[in-house]
Amino acid sequence: MFEGLKEKLGRFKSDVEEGAEEAAAEETAAAGDADSVSAPESEPEAPAAEADSGAAPDAGDADEEPSKEERIKQAQKEAKKERGLGERAKMFATGKTVITEEELEEPLEQLELALLQGDVEMSVASAIVERLRENLVGQTRSQVQTGEIVVENAIGDALKEVISVGQFDFDARIQAADKPVTIIFTGINGVGKTTSIAKLSRYLEERGLSSVIANGDTYRAGANEQIREHAAALDTKLIAHEQGGDPAAVIYDAVEYAKANDIDVVLGDTAGRLHTSNDLMSQLEKIDRVVGPDLTLFVDEAVAGQDATQRAQKFDEAAEIDGVILTKADADSSGGAAISIAHVTGKPILFLGVGQGYDDLERFDPEVIVDRIIN
């Protein structure tokens, strides 16, 4: 995962480095003249002939000859430029250069386009580019410790700021919460909700927490059979009603079972739905009223890219979510959804599904993810 994003950011880093080398060449040439560069003692004088002349300027010369004020401004601008060049030349002589906005402009434009092509949502691509601009312009880089380190650090900081939105320690929250903890899973059909529930049951078991699975997907034919197979393989209790039953009643029964049997966590499946389905959304609202879940997790495929980002946003608006699980992350080379969802929804990505096995559930750790992308 993230190979595409890693390539795009690596290209940006190379582009900035090339710009740095060109700037360094210019500064080398300017270094020899640094000692002779100085600010003007006073503002330049206007030519005496023009200043003392009482004759009005010819209309044809007005566009060609600048006024005294314009000449003064131009002279000050050039003096400032020379001072800046001199200062940069002196810095270069001591082994340092400063990153300018001009040398970043083209690499940043190319990076933004590449991010959009890699399924990163538009506002997120813009946020990354702006943070890089803020983090890099004016930075001093040492030629001994190359600008590559400066750029890497800036990329890492920008990515962390974007993907860390809303992050919380899932394990600590579950451990500290009153038991049983009720977690509801939602999303559209076919994205791996049921498999994610099974994986999370194994994940909790490995951390000393027991769980019961509730099949609130009472409308899909074969849903009971699918989830029953997972429960049997995991040796986990399953609560299920007949097809067409009330999902809220199923999850309520699972909570009561958990209370009676000292089970730590209730994992409730729900019918796959679109945010535009009022009927199914009303079922989520009823589950909220009857059960009062502690967490509602949205599940979608990482490979869905911007579609997953848009669906997460719509589901959060329709039935507030607390976090996200992205499945098929092992098949997603771009990482666009993983980079975008938290920033767009304000809700964190908590887990990545990285395979078909019950152990193939990975905590989404921004520090680890960023390190994987930039190194």
What average pLDDT does the structure give for the chain? Answer: 78
Task: Between 310 and 89, name the one with better pLDDT.
Answer: 310
* Model pLDDT, residue 364: 92
Q: Which domains does the chain have, with CATH numbers?
A: 3-32+70-163 (1.20.120.140), 170-374 (3.40.50.300)
* Model pLDDT, residue 85: 47
* Model pLDDT, residue 140: 57
Please report where in the chains the tokens 């009062």 appear, as a residue: 292
Name, in order, each residue with C-beta under 8 angstroms of 142's C-beta and a sequence gap of 6 or more: 95, 96
Residue 206 has pLDDT above 60, yes or no: yes
What distance in Å separates the CA atoms of residue 228 and residue 225, rounded to the nearest whole number?
Answer: 5
* Model pLDDT, residue 330: 86
Residue 53 has pLDDT above 60, yes or no: no
* Model pLDDT, residue 208: 96
Percent of the chain, pLDDT > 90? 29
Task: Between 1 and 188, name the one with better pLDDT.
Answer: 188
Task: Determine the average pLDDT of the residues in 261-266.
Answer: 97
What distance in Å separates the CA atoms of residue 367 and residue 222, rounded to the nearest whole number?
Answer: 40
Task: Between 373 and 228, name the one with better pLDDT.
Answer: 228
* Model pLDDT, residue 95: 44
Residue 230 in 3-state DSSP? helix
* Tokens, residue 341: 């969802």
- DSSP symbols for 111-166: HHHHHHHTT--HHHHHHHHHHHHHHHTT-EEESSS-HHHHHHHHHHHHHHHHHTTT
Task: Give the global pTM.
Answer: 0.73
Residue 235 has pLDDT above 90, yes or no: yes
What distance in Å separates the CA atoms of residue 320 and residue 347, rounded to the nearest whole number?
Answer: 10
Task: Between 358 and 52, name the one with better pLDDT.
Answer: 358
